Amino acid sequence: MRRQFEHFHMSEDYEVNSLSQKITGRHVIQQVIQMARAQFKNPERLRALDIACGPGNLTIELLHALEESFPNTKIVLAGLDYSEKNVNILIEASKGAVEGIVGSFYEFPSAIKNEDIIFSNHGLHWQPPYEMNNVIYSYLDSKERAKYETWALKNFKKALVNIYNAMREGAIAVIQFGREGQIQKLWELVNKIFDEPPFREYRNKVNFPVYHPSVANMYSSLDEAGFAKENIEINVLAEDLAEDTSSSITKFLRGFTGPGIGQFFDQEKVELFYHTIEEKLSHSDINEFRKGQLLTTIIKLKKPG
């Protein structure tokens, strides 16, 4: 397995340190239920998919919400994730009630088709592995950044095409991911710390291949993927980070960067890295820091039936 693959893994304690992701995810689940109630009238069976399900705590919440809203319907729910470890956690935690699929949203496994409902929370901004000499693409020089953005936008469209093709006629999808400027202050802090001597040598090694598209790019990509204008609704939100102490913001960051950092750093330096983050945060105005940092986009889609 290529080393960059580590960057996609969430840390062991991601679930307990992902309050921001959970809050948004619960809101997205409510939107799914609202849309599903309007779209499906007492169906015998509903097939649903959670894309980039992670350890699956929200997938299980989605299952319960669907079961409650459709008591006479058989809910067939699956979670898809790159990480086999996460998928196994989901299968075990749901006691087999949710099917787990190990795979990528860039290459949908053939089992994914004829879905009635698609849900995704904080996942679709992850790109495939990409070797670049900076932590995230926003700090690349303009030429390298433009190259990355062209590549990433193409991949983003591919994921949307996969979603479109997996939806049966009459299906709905509610997908949420970060947009341009997402947690920018936190990335700025990480970027600054990579200038400090104990970490400088890793700047060219560690990278997080995320892509936060602009709203205009989302519209054009959805259009190219096949969604008609009248079946696209994009809601743009700017929420505060739910984490409100230097320690919880550091744990939140570690939840999705820990494995990526840890594959190159010695354990001692991993600890020093997050300690430095927390220390710098503790000297800043946390309320100011967390304000409006979660730039999420909730996209509601329909495929005409």
Q: Which amino acid is at 173?
A: A
Span near ligand SAM by CB under 6 A; candidates 36-44, 78-86, 183-191, 269-277: 78-86
Residue 151 near ligand SAM by CB under 6 A: no
Residues with Cβ < 8 Å from 68, sequence gap 6 or more?
A: none
Candidates 35, 47, 54, 222: give the one binding ligand SAM (CB under 6 A).
Answer: 54
Residue choice 4, 17, 121, 297 for contact with ligand SAM (CB under 6 A): 121
Which one of residues 81, 115, 116, 278 is an interface residue with ligand SAM (CB under 6 A)? 81
Contact region with ligand SAM (CB under 6 A), list: 33-41, 60-68, 121-129, 195-203: 121-129
Helices 84-93 & 57-69 angle (0-180, nearest 10): 40
Distance CA 285, CA 265 (A): 29
CA–CA distance, 182 with 178 (Å, rounded to integer): 6
Q: Which is nearer to ligand SAM, 54 or 262 (CB)?
A: 54
Q: Which of 70, 82, 108, 252 binds ligand SAM (CB under 6 A)?
A: 82
- Cβ 197 to ligand SAM, closest distance in Å? 30
Gap between the Cα atoms of 259 and 269, Å rounded: 13
Whichever of 8 and 199 has its CB closer to ligand SAM, that residue is 8
Q: Decide: is 202 part of the binding site for ligand SAM (CB under 6 A).
A: no
Give the one residue of 105, 156, 208, 252 binding ligand SAM; rule: CB under 6 A: 105
Q: Which one, 29 or 277, has the nearer CB to ligand SAM?
A: 29
Is the Cβ of residue 22 or residue 302 nearer to ligand SAM in the bound state?
22
Helices in the chain by DSSP H: which ranges?
Answer: 19-39, 57-69, 84-93, 142-166, 184-193, 197-200, 215-225, 246-262, 267-282, 286-290
